[in-house]
Amino acid sequence: MKREKIWIAAALLAVASPTAQSAYSQPAPMNDGAPPLAPNLARFYFYRAESYSAMAWTAVFLNGAQVGDSAPGTYFHRDVAAGTYKIALRTEERYTTQFQTVAVAAGTTNYVRIYAFKDWSNPGTASGSGFGFVGLPYAPEIFGDQIVDPGTALREMAGLTPKG
């Protein structure tokens, strides 16, 4: 009984950890021509299924190193060593839950949805003027990321264009 309580406490601590274990890091087939995943690596797929943000691109970073660029309607993958990664994007504004930190295990495939939206709290610039270059209305491009389960990701990625 005491051993069960210890395991339950350890499980609760793992759930409460600020670093998310990718609950969705199950291997899933992706027919994109990528080579098979090496057994000692993990794979990230980064994708943007939405088209709200016009044609804005954003840079994608893992632990501060740029690993690619994301555009609406595209996806790309990167193979990485098992470990913990902070996923970040180039963005004009920041908010507290914008970027994810995730621990990935070797042999897993992890899906990251990249989304864009306009600043909902201020239709103008961050300074509140409401106007950008030469008095034209301006709303900053704001990007965020979300870890997504394989089934949802594969449905959302259907029809997207692979990018190197």
Answer whether residue 10 is part of any domain.
Answer: no
Answer whether residue 57 is part of any domain.
Answer: yes
Query: Looking at 10-14, 21-25, 65-69, 130-134, which range is the least confident one?
Result: 10-14
pLDDT in tens, 89-98: 887 666 666 7
- How many domains, in total, are found in the chain? 1
Answer whether residue 130 is part of any domain.
Answer: yes
Residues 6+ apart with CB under 8 A from 11: none
How large is the C-alpha radius of gyration of the chain? 18
pTM metric for this prediction: 0.72
pLDDT in tens, 31-59: 677 889 999 999 999 999 876 555 678 88
Answer whether residue 8 is part of any domain.
Answer: no
Q: What does the pLDDT read at residue 9? A: 39
Question: 138: domain range?
Answer: 20-162
* Helix, coil or strand: residue 126: coil
Distance separating alpha carbons of residues 45 and 78, to the nearest angstrom: 7
Average pLDDT on 105-125 reads: 73
Answer whether residue 110 is part of any domain.
Answer: yes
The residue assigned the tokens 């339950």 is 8
9-27: string of b/e by CB count within 10 Å (b at 16+)? eeeeeeeeeeeeebebbee
